[in-house]
């Protein structure tokens, strides 16, 4: 067991570091040829390792596995620095998956900056893996900053005006968020003397804290900070600009995983620790933010005139669903949120990959320039339909099940009204998705130079993700049963 | 000679030959359906064979003993159950004779017409289903055949292609309403009695749920018979359907079926008490049907339409008779059903002969045909004597029994019935006079020589039927000997055959007839036209407006129903449009308004985004402060 554990850590933290070093040793021309392959290798190994981690957890029948340093496996569980449990395993898998899609898309879209892109992607992967693995709040902050800086550089990869503008906005907002998170962590440290999740959980459960207002203040800062990071309304301002301005593969990363890892995942951990039925106001605050994001995000998405921008607003809305699931504070809502986390990674990556393909061919994602692409790009059109229906939560696609679980959980905890609002917003989801489909792929063909479907990584990735979406949707009852026998549900 | 057939039919207890009455016409009909269009002669032969076979079987059945057959089928009390007893024997024989004679006639009538194949097919189907109704001993089985007949009616009305099959739709809607009521009634009856077997259900009290059950089943029965308010498709069908259809369905079968079921409901299933509210209600339905049908028949200028309206009117007598719930009335009603079947089909067939010869039955175009078509005229006159209730003819006796019962219940019904006698006589005299007497008038384009007597196969059935009217009048012991045992013990040994008991009633009826004759003669003298002989009733102030309204179909219950449907449809369509508007206009406008504003609001300014962020933070802070 110990040997395999070491492998896990090397795969998640060591591999990106090693990749950076190895890629920058040879001369630039040679390294550029290796970039895509290396990136894909790292990501696929990460996915495989995440699966192995899950299997190991099931094998040893443990909720989590901890290890303190790379070289020392014989440390008590609660003192460990890194730890893998089911939630982080799912997140790590998603990171690997979206990373692989991003690299697949980068093959044809990022040409001269490929080495810079790969380096920064490795740093981004490292940062996000760190967020998923660490066991204390301060380390979360550290890895958050790492992934944040990598994101800024990636958004502004080409140093073009839109990219720079997006990166700047993200930077400003992230600065506020970082300040808040640091402040919240500091206040918690002041109160508890430790930031380790295990310690915090124990002390909160025992009720050992003298200064409740301090805890409230800390929670306020943390919730607000993570809400900015995950792009909830009304803290979303940076998100559409950053995603539209970023190069296509970076958009895939940002929308597919970065927002979720830096904002939503941390929120899930908070909920885990703080047993939020004691702090109902956090639930209510998160629920309100989530509802605002769901409804306004969807409505705003309907009014957009740009493919990628529509998808960006759609991300706001969908992450709203995840936060809504978390805000229930029940196991069902939690499971629904985790599943929607995974589903959002799949379908949003598919859609952004298709947007990358479209942009690659037409050098634009504005609706006025698109339309009638169905004939020329059948794979993109078909996979968009699948991803869109999954987004809107139509059976039998995967998105249906996770949304269903979330809405049931919301109905149980927060009443029928909130659940109906969340459900009705799905109609808007369908509306903006149909609008995308209508404006981009269906309809009459426009006068333009001939375009064709690029037979490259994007198409393969789209198809693979669609297969995952459908397969997950069909096999969902099996998964649910497995979760139940494992005692998760 | 018939005894072997009878014993053959009722042999065995499980799978005996009774089903042949239903199955053979059904199979032959399907055979006719799949035979190619060119094989018309073969179809005709099959048809002839089938109606003859049916006649022989029904004759054989008539002398057979009582039999019940039960084949378990769908469970829940729904079985294929057949019962042969007095009424079904009688009804099947009556229907079988009518099927044979009208079938013989229609074979000549429809020769060469475009709907020949379809008519044969539907006619055989009708025969099969009618036998099914009379044999059924299970209410669900009865309902099945009942509904099947409705579909056959629908199909028959579609035979003559019209751009818009209004009559067929009207017929199916009215029949469907009546049949739905019957279904409802059967359900209630089942829940009351706990059985669907018709020989088990008996003497349910007409109270509580029984009132609803009785009412529904009764309306289903009179609806099939064509009483008010389910009558209005019949006069329209006179214009739209092939004439033999009119002779067999409104003329014979609908009365047989409707009155058969009404008899079963009022006498067997429910214990309808004389003088009770329900009895009065049934009598009022009868009286209204009688009055309305005959009043409308009076003013028709077309033989077929006059006969159709009077067919509606005559049902009134039968419903009135059964409604009294007195043995004398019931016997009279069933007897009248038989008589009506005979004379009305004969009259319809004669009208068909006129149509065959001249191409029309509109009395404004034709007249004085008696010399050119003496046998048709003779038979029309003979059947007409029965129709008006001339003493000595069969309908005279049956009407007299009904009058007796009506007078015993309430004098108002008797007066209405007498008005009916007057109206019937006046309308018949008008039509008879205009069509067969006086100078010859023909439609344009038809020469005098072209109009000649119809072939023997058409003359024979109508003449046999007309002669039968006289026969059953002179020897009324013959039919009454079959009808009276239907009532069993309720009859209490009274004998209705022979000359009526009360001379007074006979005298009053005769006076009514004489009044009608006198009216006709005087009016003819005065106006000089047989067609205008009743116009002085038509134009009485007040009555005239009613007639005008009726002519324009304002009083047609179907139209009233349709206008209700239209109002309902209007409301629904408004509602639907409102919903559509909400979805198609309001929601779209709202969303696009919101989306556009939102789009304008996110203008890419970092300052603005920061303001949002901080207002969001403020909101969160306030929330935290409020809720802690």
Do B429 and B465 have their domain in common? yes
**Do residues A283 and A337 lie in contact, with contact meaning Cβ atoms separated by under 8 Å?**
no
List the single residue in A235, A289, A303 with the smallest CB-CB distance to B595: A303
Angstrom distance (rounded) from CA B172 to CA A365: 60
The answer to whether the Cα torsion of A144, A147, A148, A149 is positive or negative is positive
Which run of H or of E encompasses B74? strand B67-75
Domain C-terminal end among B503, B531, B550? B550
Which run of H or of E encompasses B526? helix B503-527
Do B618 and B517 have their domain in common? no
- pLDDT for residue A326: 87
List the single residue in B595, B606, B620 with the smallest CB-CB distance to A224: B620
B603 occurs within a structural domain: yes
A227 touches chain B (CB under 8 A): yes
Do B462 and B512 have their domain in common? yes
Do B491 and B602 have their domain in common? no
B168 occurs within a structural domain: no
CA atoms within 13 A on the CB side of A59: 9
Domain C-terminal end among B519, B550, B581? B550
**Do residues A123 and A24 lie in contact, with contact meaning Cβ atoms separated by under 8 Å?**
no
Give per-residue burial for A200-216: e unless 16+ CB within 10 Å, then b: beeebeeeeeeeeeebb
Two tokens at A291?
């509802």
Give the ranges where A393-456 is alpha helix by DSSP (H).
398-436
Subunit contact B623:A241, Cβ cutoff 8 A: no
Give the ranges where B110-138 is alpha helix by DSSP (H).
116-135
A434 touches chain B (CB under 8 A): no
A424 touches chain B (CB under 8 A): no
Angstrom distance (rounded) from CA B187 to CA B184: 5
Subunit contact B623:A299, Cβ cutoff 8 A: no
B595 neighbourhood in chain A, CB within 8 Å: 299-300, 302-304
Report the greatest alpha carbon distance in chain A. 71
**A377 vs chain B: nearest CA distance in angstroms?**
29
Two tokens at A221?
């800062």
Subunit contact A172:B620, Cβ cutoff 8 A: no
Do B455 and B582 have their domain in common? no
> How many structural domains does chain B have?
2
> Taking a contact as any Cβ pair under 8 Å apart, which residues of chain A between 369 and 388 contact chain B?
none
- pLDDT for residue A69: 47
Domain C-terminal end among B550, B577, B606? B550
User: DSSP string spanning B347-394?
Assistant: HHHHHHHHHHHHS--BTTT-B-TTTTSHHHHHHHHHHHHHHHT-TTSH
pLDDT beneath 50: ranges in chain A = 1, 69-71, 73
Q: Which of A302, A312, A317 to mutate to test the interface with B (most CBs of B within 10 A)?
A: A302
For chain A, the straight-line distance linking the first and the last C-alpha, in angstroms and rounded, comes to 27
Do B460 and B401 have their domain in common? yes
Q: Kind of pairing, strands A64-67 and A82-85?
A: antiparallel
The answer to whether the Cα torsion of B143, B144, B149, B152 is positive or negative is positive
Where do the domains of chain A lie? 296-489
List the single residue in B612, B615, B621 with the smallest CB-CB distance to A220: B621
B260 occurs within a structural domain: no
A223 touches chain B (CB under 8 A): yes
Do B570 and B538 have their domain in common? no
φ and ψ at residue B618, rounded to 5 degrees: -60, -40
Do B477 and B607 have their domain in common? no
Angstrom distance (rounded) from CA A348 to CA B436: 91
Do B482 and B509 have their domain in common? yes
B432: domain range?
Answer: 298-550
B619 neighbourhood in chain A, CB within 8 Å: 234
B331 occurs within a structural domain: yes
Give the nearest chain A residue to B593 (CA atoms): A303
A430 touches chain B (CB under 8 A): no
- pLDDT for residue A368: 79
List the single residue in B591, B592, B613 with the smallest CB-CB distance to A234: B613
Subunit contact A220:B624, Cβ cutoff 8 A: yes
Subunit contact A237:B602, Cβ cutoff 8 A: yes
Two tokens at B400?
């007299």
Mean pLDDT, contiguous 10-residue spans, chain B (628 residues) = 70 64 88 84 89 89 82 73 86 92 88 84 92 90 90 87 83 89 92 86 85 91 86 84 86 89 89 87 91 88 90 91 89 92 91 87 85 89 91 89 89 91 91 87 80 85 90 87 82 78 87 90 85 80 82 80 89 92 85 77 75 85 80
Do B329 and B450 have their domain in common? yes
Subunit contact B609:A280, Cβ cutoff 8 A: no
Tell me whether residue B27 is exposed, middle or buried, using C-beta atoms within 10 angstroms of its C-beta: 0 to 12, 13 to 18, 19 or more.
middle
- pLDDT for residue A77: 53
Subunit contact A235:B621, Cβ cutoff 8 A: no
Strand partners, B72: B79
Do B409 and B486 have their domain in common? yes
Do B416 and B303 have their domain in common? yes
């Amino acid at each position: 067991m110990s040997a395999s554990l070491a492998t896990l850590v090397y795969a998640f933290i060591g591999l990106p570091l090693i990749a950076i070093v190895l890629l920058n040793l040879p001369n630039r021309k040679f390294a550029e040829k290796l970039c895509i392959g290396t990136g894909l290798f790292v990501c696929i190994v990460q996915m495989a390792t995440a699966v192995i981690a899950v299997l190991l957890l099931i094998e040893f029948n443990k909720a989590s596995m901890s290890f303190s340093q790379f070289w020392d496996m014989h440390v008590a569980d609660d003192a460990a620095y890194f730890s893998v449990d089911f939630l982080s395993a799912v997140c790590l898998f998603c990171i690997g998956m979206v990373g692989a899609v991003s690299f697949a898309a980068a093959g044809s879209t990022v040409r001269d900056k490929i080495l810079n892109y790969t380096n920064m992607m490795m740093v981004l992967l490292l940062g996000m893996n760190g967020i998923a693995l660490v066991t204390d709040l301060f380390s979360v902050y550290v890895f958050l900053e790492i992934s944040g800086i990598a994101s800024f550089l990636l958004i502004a990869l080409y140093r073009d005006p839109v990219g720079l503008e997006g990166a700047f906005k993200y930077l400003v907002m992230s600065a506020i968020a970082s300040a808040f998170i640091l402040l919240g962590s500091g206040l918690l440290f002041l109160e508890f003397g430790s930031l380790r999740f295990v310690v915090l959980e124990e002390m909160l459960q025992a009720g050992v804290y003298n200064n409740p207002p301090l805890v409230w203040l800390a929670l306020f800062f943390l919730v607000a900070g993570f809400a900015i990071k995950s792009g909830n309304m009304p803290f979303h301002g940076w998100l559409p600009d950053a995603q539209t301005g970023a190069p296509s593969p970076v958009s895939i990363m940002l929308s597919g995983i970065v927002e979720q890892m830096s904002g939503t995942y941390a929120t899930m951990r908070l909920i885990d620790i703080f047993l939020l039925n004691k702090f109902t106001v956090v639930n209510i605050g998160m629920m309100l933010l989530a509802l605002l994001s769901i409804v306004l995000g969807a409505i705003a998405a309907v009014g957009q005139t740009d493919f990628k921008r529509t998808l960006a607003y759609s991300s706001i809305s969908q992450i709203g669903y995840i936060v809504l699931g978390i805000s229930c504070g029940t196991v069902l809502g939690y499971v629904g949120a985790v599943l929607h986390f995974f589903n959002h990674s799949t379908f949003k990556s598919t859609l952004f990959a298709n947007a990358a393909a479209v942009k690659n061919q037409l050098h634009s994602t504005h609706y006025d320039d698109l339309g009638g692409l169905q004939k020329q790009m059948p794979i993109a059109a078909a996979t968009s339909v699948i991803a869109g229906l999954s987004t809107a939560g139509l059976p039998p696609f995967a998105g249906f099940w996770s949304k269903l679980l979330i809405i049931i959980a919301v109905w149980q905890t927060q009443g029928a009204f909130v659940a109906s609002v969340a459900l009705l917003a799905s109609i808007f989801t369908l509306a903006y998705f149909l609008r995308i489909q209508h404006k981009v792929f269906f309809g009459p063909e426009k006068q333009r130079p001939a375009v064709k479907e690029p037979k490259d990584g994007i198409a393969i990735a789209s198809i693979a993700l669609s297969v995952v979406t459908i397969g997950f949707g069909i096999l969902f009852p099996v998964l649910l049963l497995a979760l139940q026998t494992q005692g998760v549900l | 000679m018939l005894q072997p057939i009878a014993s053959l039919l009722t042999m065995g207890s499980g799978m005996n030959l009774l089903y042949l009455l239903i199955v053979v016409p059904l199979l032959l009909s399907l055979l006719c359906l799949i035979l190619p269009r060119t094989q018309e002669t073969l179809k005709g032969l099959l048809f002839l064979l089938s109606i003859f076979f049916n006649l022989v079987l029904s004759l054989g059945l008539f002398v057979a003993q009582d039999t019940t057959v039960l084949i378990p089928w769908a469970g829940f009390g729904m079985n294929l159950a057949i019962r042969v007893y007095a009424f079904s024997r009688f009804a099947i024989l009556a229907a079988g004779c009518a099927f044979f004679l009208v079938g013989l006639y229609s074979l000549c009538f429809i020769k060469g017409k475009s709907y020949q194949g379809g008519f044969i097919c539907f006619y055989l189907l009708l025969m099969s289903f009618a036998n099914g109704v009379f044999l059924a001993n299970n209410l669900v089985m009865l309902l099945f055949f009942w509904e099947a007949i409705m579909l056959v009616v629908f199909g028959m009305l579609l035979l003559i292609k019209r751009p818009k099959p209004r009559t067929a739709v009207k017929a199916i809607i009215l029949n469907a309403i009546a049949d739905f009521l019957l279904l409802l009634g059967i359900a209630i009856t089942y829940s009351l009695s706990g059985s669907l077997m018709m020989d088990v259900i008996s003497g349910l009290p007409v109270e509580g749920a029984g009132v609803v059950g009785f009412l529904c089943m009764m309306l289903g029965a009179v609806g099939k018979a064509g009483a008010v308010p389910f009558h209005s498709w019949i006069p329209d069908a006179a214009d739209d359907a092939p004439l033999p259809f009119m002779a067999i369905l409104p003329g014979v079968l609908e009365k047989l079926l409707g009155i058969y079921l009404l008899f079963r409901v009022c006498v067997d299933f429910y214990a309808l008490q004389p003088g009770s509210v329900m009895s009065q209600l049934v009598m009022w339905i009868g009286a209204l049907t009688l009055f309305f049908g005959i009043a409308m028949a009076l003013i028709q200028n077309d033989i077929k339409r006059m006969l159709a309206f009077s067919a509606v009117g005559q049902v009134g007598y039968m419903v009135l008779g059964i409604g009294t719930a007195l043995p004398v009335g019931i016997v009279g009603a069933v007897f009248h059903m038989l008589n009506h079947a005979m004379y009305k089909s004969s009259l319809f067939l004669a009208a068909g002969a006129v149509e065959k010869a001249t191409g029309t039955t509109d009395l404004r175009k034709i007249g004085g045909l008696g010399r050119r078509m003496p046998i048709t005229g003779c038979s029309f006159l003979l059947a007409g004597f029965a129709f008006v209730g001339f003493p000595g003819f069969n309908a005279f006796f049956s009407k007299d029994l009904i009058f007796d019962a009506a007078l015993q219940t309430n004098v108002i019904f008797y007066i209405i019935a007498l008005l009916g006698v007057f109206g019937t006589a006046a309308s018949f005299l008008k039509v008879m006079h205009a069509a067969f007497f006086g100078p010859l008038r023909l439609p344009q384009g038809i020469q005098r020589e072209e109009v000649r007597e119809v072939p023997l196969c058409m003359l024979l059935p109508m003449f046999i039927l007309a002669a039968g009217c006289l026969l059953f009048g002179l020897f009324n012991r013959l039919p009454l000997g079959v009808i009276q045992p239907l009532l069993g013990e309720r009859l209490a040994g009274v004998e209705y055959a022979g000359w009526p008991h009360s001379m007074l009633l006979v005298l009053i009826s005769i006076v009514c007839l004489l009044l009608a004759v006198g009216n006709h003669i005087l009016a003819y003298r005065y106006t000089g036209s047989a067609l205008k002989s009743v116009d002085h009733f038509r134009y009485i102030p007040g009555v005239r407006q009613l007639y005008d309204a009726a002519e324009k179909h304002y009083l047609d219950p179907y139209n009233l129903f349709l206008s209700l449907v239209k109002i309902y449809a209007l409301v629904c369509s408004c509602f639907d449009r409102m919903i559509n508007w909400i979805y198609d206009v309001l929601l779209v406008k709202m969303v696009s308004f919101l989306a556009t504003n939102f789009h304008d609001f996110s203008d890419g300014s970092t300052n603005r985004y920061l303001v949002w962020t901080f207002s969001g933070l403020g909101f969160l802070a306030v929330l935290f402060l409020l809720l802690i």
